Structure 1
Amino acid sequence: MQKNSLLKTAITAALLSLTAACASTGNTDVNDPYENTNRAIWKFNRVVDKAVTRPVAVGYRTIVPELPRKGISNIFRNLTEPWSFVNNILQGDINGAATTLGRFTINTTVGLAGIFKVSDKMGIQYQREDFGQTLAVWGVNDGPYLVLPFLGPSNGRDAFGTIGDFTAEPVNIGIDRLDEKGLLLAKLSLEVIDTRARLHSTIESLYEENDPYAFARAAYRQQRDFQIRNGKRDTSEEDDLFDALEDDE
């Protein structure tokens, strides 16, 4: 078995162990029955961020100029499009699938492999779809709130969706089939660094909150509701938490 396959199996097993005991409970304002464990994992993730991820991301921001960094972020965004297309189809959203395919085609060709977000200038809105969103469209409840080691805020449904994202995403499958040792790990590592660097100010602001754990929990729930509704906010809730942690896509 190749190294990439071993990595995939290990991550899948870890996520399965977390989701195996997650009952499909109904939505509540704070559905966090494992809060003590979640807070412990949150603290662990923060230690890892402080010791490893943050210094690397800060170094990346210092060494690499802003324009090339944006190009790299755009490439990673473009690489998510094939999986978004698949999830559009699984959700029965044919119009969304057509939009995703068109956006991917434009950015891959005219945008030089996605370096430039040409579709944005054409008014074609970016909408990322993942398997967690697909499960929600299929009627799967979110289950209990979870904090995953290294990955951060999630819930029972989205943790299982993460397994699907990692194992079935077309780009990851293509890289795995190239049989180049470490290539998939290198891609995932660079994605983490890019994301941490792009959201540096937001994450630093989060850490300054009185209870960053509770703040992130509320923001994650709002953000996921927003994504599942394809950008239509629930006007019955406050939007300030969502605005504070919304990804800069």
Structure 2
Amino acid sequence: MTIPNFLRILPFAGTILLTACASPDEGRGINDPYEETNRAWHDRNVALDRAVIRPVSNAYGTAVPDPLRRGLSNVSDTLSIPGAVVNDLLQFELGDAVHNTARFAVNATIGLAGLFDPATEMGLEARDADFGETLHRWGVTEGAYVVLPVYGPSTERDALGLAVDVALDPVGSLLGSNERKAKTGLTVAELADTRYRYSDIYESIIYESADSYAQMRLTYLDQRRYELGTPIGSAATGETEGGGSYDIYEDFYE
């Protein structure tokens, strides 16, 4: 009997939840007890970027016209909307759930399966939601900072959120094997386009910083805390400030 994907991650989920709940409150500096291991994975990820990801993304960005790259990224974004709707419901954000459902319906039909984005022009802008955010809404603290293979910077809470989002993907669960491969290909194309589009900013962090690990850690934690509405600016100093500050990393992550 095949074990559902969600059940397979339950042991991992329990460990992460227990660790995260026992960790210091988020927004109060850097919690990095795994720094030695994290730095090793960071170095491997940088080496992978230099050897594979950067040349592939540059080739993709050079060979594929910008309108087509944007269109493929739009399709990938549209396919991710049902997952956002699930998290909206889990967070009891019914308004966002209705908004994202309408966005999906418009782009999947008028937008030709998501190739175009007429929904944004109609006032149905993207409102992302993920299971890491859902856990935050449920009171789970961010836990320790971790670096994931290939994926890069995360926290224990967001690592669990990523695993659950993959396991519970509503669209992926309805597709056949060939369609799932195509969906994965679209995701890879979107990541390659993002890497190419923001290469100057990304490379200034990982190749030009005196300590690229520390800079990436600071960038990720401040950005994620900003997204979740928790105090920002604290990853560097340990001091907390009220919400409402500007997003200093907006250009990098959009």
Which TM-score band applies after superposition, normalised by the shorter structure? 0.7 to 0.9
**2:126 aligned partner:** 126
Secondary structure of the 1:47 match is helix
Q: Using the alignment, how far apart are the partners of 1:135 and 1:20 within structure 2?
A: 9
**1:206 aligned partner:** 205
Closer/same/farther in 2, CA of residues 83 and 23 from structure 1, 3 Å limit: closer
**2:237 aligned partner:** none
Question: Deviation of residue 240 (structure 1)?
Answer: 6.3
Q: Using the alignment, how far apart are the partners of 1:17 and 1:206 within structure 2?
A: 34
**1:226 aligned partner:** 226
**2:49 aligned partner:** 49
Closer/same/farther in 2, CA of residues 121 and 182 from structure 1, 3 Å limit: closer
Identity %: 35
**1:179 aligned partner:** 177
**2:160 aligned partner:** 160
Secondary structure of the 2:249 match is helix
Structure 2 residue 68 is the aligned partner of structure 1 residue 68 = yes
Closer/same/farther in 2, CA of residues 186 and 158 from structure 1, 3 Å limit: same
Q: Using the alignment, how far apart are the partners of 1:114 and 1:124 within structure 2?
A: 13
Structure 2 residue 143 is the aligned partner of structure 1 residue 143 = yes
For the aligned residues, what is the CA RMSD? 3.3
Question: Deviation of residue 88 (structure 1)?
Answer: 0.2
**1:242 aligned partner:** 249
Aligned ranges 1:8-27 → 2 under 5 Å = 19=16, 22-24=19-21, 25-26=23-24, 27=26
Which sections of structure 1, spanning at least 5 residues, go unmatched?
A: none
Q: Which moved more, 1:71-80 or 1:15-24?
A: 15-24
Secondary structure of the 1:80 match is helix
Structure 2 residue 122 is the aligned partner of structure 1 residue 115 = no
Q: Using the alignment, how far apart are the partners of 1:100 and 1:212 within structure 2?
A: 36
Which sections of structure 2, spanning at least 5 residues, go unmatched?
A: 234-240
Secondary structure of the 1:154 match is strand
Structure 2 residue 82 is the aligned partner of structure 1 residue 82 = yes
Which AA in structure 1 matches 2:116?
Answer: F
The 8 Å contact of residues 16 and 160 in structure 1, kept in 2 or not, is answered as yes
Q: Using the alignment, how far apart are the partners of 2:244 and 2:32 within structure 1?
A: 19
Q: Using the alignment, how far apart are the partners of 1:140 and 1:23 within structure 2?
A: 7
Q: Using the alignment, how far apart are the partners of 2:249 and 2:13 within structure 1?
A: 28
Q: Using the alignment, how far apart are the partners of 1:239 and 1:167 within structure 2?
A: 33
Q: Using the alignment, how far apart are the partners of 1:61 and 1:146 within structure 2?
A: 30
Residues 156-197 of structure 1, C-alpha deviation per residue, up to 9 Å, x if partnerless?
A: 10111111011111122223xx13397165455434433323
The 8 Å contact of residues 38 and 147 in structure 1, kept in 2 or not, is answered as yes
Which AA in structure 2 matches 1:130?
Answer: D
